[in-house]
A and B are shown apart, each in its own frame.
Chain A
Amino acid sequence: GAVVSQHPSRVICKSGTSVKIECRSLDFQATTMFWYRQFPKKSLMLMATSNEGSKATYEQGVEKDKFLINHASLTLSTLTVTSAHPEDSSFYICSARREATDTQYFGPGTRLTVL
């Protein structure tokens, strides 16, 4: 149990376009999901906490209008990178917290490349 999927796994887009990434908890419900960004060979940077039915909580320095988060159900959170630019190219990883075990389970990640 505790499987989290993420789609797409890889996306290439042109500068100025928007990209949506989906994160799903497949076998448990998640009131809280998290979105991270990871640079090559670097640790995880928490971008925001996604709360089902309410607004996301963004970490300091993360632009909420650029990284739109929607957590419309207990199994789905989406991250939309709006007006993407090359500096947004990165590996984005989501996680879902399983409340019964207070443990985060991670999706496989999305490699975003903005040309």
Chain B
Amino acid sequence: AQSVAQPEDQVNVAEGNPLTVKCTYSVSGNPYLFWYVQYPNRGLQFLLKYITGDNLVKGSYGFEAEFNKSQTSFHLKKPSALVSDSALYFCAVRSNNRKLIWGLGTSLAVNP
């Protein structure tokens, strides 16, 4: 079965520290993986995606994600967190019928 797991409901980091938001997936074939961010009462904003090529993908707002095929993971990272990064983050994988399968989301809180 195709699925996405975000094992952490909430992540807390101090401003200036590196952050990681975890995502693992299960899909047949080569995965298309996405990260989106949602600010309160807003729609989702596309951050980055992995389709093929370099395992380290760079995206918007200084975020990057590392595709690890052996661990079936696609963790989102940022070297230095900002308070303004506080939001809800969603990982998704494209299913065989081109719909997106979503993780449950991880709430990131960056403390000043």
Contacts and interface: CB of A to CB of B under 8 A. Distances in A.
Nearest to B105: A43
A34 B94 CA distance: 14
Summarize B's interface: helix, strand, loop or mixed: strand
Interface stretch (B11-19, B36-44, B79-87): B36-44
Contact of B90 (A32, A44, A91): A44
Nearest to B51: A102
B42 A108 contact: yes
B22 interface: no
Given A43-B103, A49-B99, A109-B42, A103 B90 contact: no
Given A46-B99, A102-B94, A104-B100, A41 B107 contact: yes
Contacts of B94: 102
A93 B44 CA distance: 9
Given A41-B107, A43-B105, A44-B102, A106 B43 contact: yes
B41 A109 contact: yes
B107 A102 contact: no
Interface string A24-68: 000000001010000001111010010000000000000000000
Q: Determine which residue in A6, A44, A95, A109 has the highest number of CB atoms from chain B within 10 A of its CB, and name it.
A: A44
Nearest to B103: A43
5 contacts: A6-B43, A43-B104, A43-B105, A95-B44, A109-B43
Interface of B: 32, 34, 36, 41-46, 49, 51, 88, 90, 94, 98-100, 102-105, 107
Given A102-B98, A106-B36, A106-B43, 14 more contacts: A2-B46, A42-B105, A43-B102, A44-B90, A44-B102, A46-B100, A95-B44, A102-B32, A104-B34, A104-B46, A104-B100, A106-B45, A108-B42, A109-B42
